[in-house]
Structure 1
């Protein structure tokens, strides 16, 4: 470093301000830097400088040596007191001796593997017992402390010998049977699903609760403001009561609105078997989900409907929509055919197109599925009171009035 021209504090200030041209480079070793610090301190007589001037020297040495201000202060104090600058630290000639060798760690890993990783005190007791029985491998491990035992278990040698992985354990939910329902040609096994009627500016819409019988495709649609227990339970109970036959089973997906203790208690009280969808079986609840598109969305669309209209929608479904889809609207029913490879294929022949009521009436001993006081003849008489065309027109008129209510601008407060 060529900085011999810097003899005064004013020259140091000019250098720090960048107005004085000096060629310098930071030394690449501590000995050269120490020599540079001593030379500057002696040349400028650092011990006799005033405090502001000492600050200039410190800033200059920070620039030229690369050391921090605190470290330079300590080094300059040693120069002022006449001590020589040299490294006062060195790497130890010998590293700390290890009491337990990698071989001891391997033996410990074997003990843990055989005994299933017992607690620290139990493992230490086993090590001492092994040494007492004359096993020379446990000479050093017999004096192993419980605290240092866990240090050895965390070492790389131990982990290379024995890796313990705790996998996530599946939790079996006790509510509902995880299987597909098996109606075996009987009416009364329904599939259920929820449909949300959109959000608007962070405000939730109404919730449609849709249930369909597996065999007859008898459909019941209800509506509630929310799917919390206070709103869902009365709606679910009223929905089940609208079916003309006794409900024997209810199948849903794994949503918490149906898989909970309150709904399970309600179904147990009504003696209804509760089942839920299985993993990797996307068609377990496909019948209800397909009806969501063909009935719910086709009737109410996808636009937001405020929650305050839930009671009006539920009344419309009970008085107009549900009677129309069950007594007058035909459905396609599948016919299962087994091909040459043994695979079950479903076809939908035209001669099997029926209304849910016609399908119910075609079941052998259909009367045994119905609720007390309800007969097939009374249901057929109700269907004959109005033609299919008139029933559809009446439903559409009621639907138009309902949507006019949705679109009506609310009256301003007085």
Structure 2
């Protein structure tokens, strides 16, 4: 009875207003969701980080930053030592500065290496929409995840790389792999989905390389179109493949 009566009087203690934690504020400012599967405008990029820790996440080890355009399939990779926000942001900024089209959307997972004020501020300054995956929904980033398997794990494997020399070797691999994949390896893309009960039936278009899709889109920056066409005319896919075989052997 006494406690009930005391509630009627104002407490002499000052009221405390809890402020949201920085991580919660970031998640509030970065919407969660997935990009539409039928996006048609190049420049919608999915980004992810692949760890090369050999199954042991202790200590410092190399990571590969992977960036994929979900519309054209064009992709780039860059290895770094560690996964600090500063290192990841510097690598991403380097890749985006050489991207062949204008970028209008970035989509990442919920890792702290991406959800930070550096990247959020960068996207706002550049007029880029920044999105993140929904919690525990790994398939919200399907295009870059597929590239990670095909062009990272199947090429350099699951071993641990934790030295600057190993990072230099990874980047030497990607220097050969990226033009080979983008200029000469055709892929198919889903153009229609239909539902039959619980099953999803997909229809794919004719296989084309990311380079061909970029040309057809008309979204290439003039200087990048000239550079990619020059690469396509001068590079030999068989020579690139042989060099890749030698460097990863």
Fold conserved between structures, TM > 0.5: yes
Query: Which structure's CA Rg is the greater one?
Result: 1
- Residue 239 of structure 1 is aligned with which of 81, 95, 101? 95
- Residue 241 of structure 2 is aligned with which of 382, 385, 392? 392
Partners of 2:169 and 2:198 lie apart in 1 by 50
The residue number in structure 1 matching 2:80 is: 224
- Residue 210 of structure 1 is aligned with which of 45, 50, 66? 66
* CA apart distance, 1:382: 1.7
More helix by share: 1
- Residue 185 of structure 2 is aligned with which of 329, 342, 348? 329
Over 3 Å counting, the alpha-carbon distance change for 1:341 and 1:302 in structure 2 is closer
SS in 2 for 1:174: helix
Partners of 1:395 and 1:205 lie apart in 2 by 23
Does 1:274 find its partner at 2:130? yes
Over 3 Å counting, the alpha-carbon distance change for 1:323 and 1:262 in structure 2 is same
Q: RMSD of aligned C-alpha atoms?
A: 3.0
- Residue 145 of structure 2 is aligned with which of 282, 289, 312? 289
1:109-148 to 2 correspondences below 5 Å: 119-122=7-10
Over 3 Å counting, the alpha-carbon distance change for 1:175 and 1:392 in structure 2 is farther
Over 3 Å counting, the alpha-carbon distance change for 1:378 and 1:305 in structure 2 is closer
More strand by share: 2
- Residue 221 of structure 2 is aligned with which of 344, 368, 371? 371
Q: TM-score, normalised by structure 2?
A: 0.81
User: Any gaps of 5 or more consecutive residues in structure 2?
Assistant: 12-23
The residue number in structure 1 matching 2:215 is: 361
Judge conservation of contact 2:51–2:61 (CA < 8 Å) in 1.
yes
The residue number in structure 1 matching 2:28 is: 174
Over 3 Å counting, the alpha-carbon distance change for 1:122 and 1:260 in structure 2 is same
* CA apart distance, 1:290: 1.9
User: Any gaps of 5 or more consecutive residues in structure 1?
Assistant: 1-99, 112-117, 124-170, 401-414
Partners of 1:281 and 1:289 lie apart in 2 by 12
- Residue 383 of structure 1 is aligned with which of 232, 237, 242? 232
The residue number in structure 2 matching 1:16 is: none
* CA apart distance, 1:399: 3.5
Partners of 2:168 and 2:221 lie apart in 1 by 26
Deviations, residues 222-268 of structure 1 (Å, cap 9, x unaligned): 11101113322211111212321121111001111101111111222
The residue number in structure 1 matching 2:53 is: 198
Q: TM-score, normalised by structure 1?
A: 0.51
Partners of 2:45 and 2:99 lie apart in 1 by 10
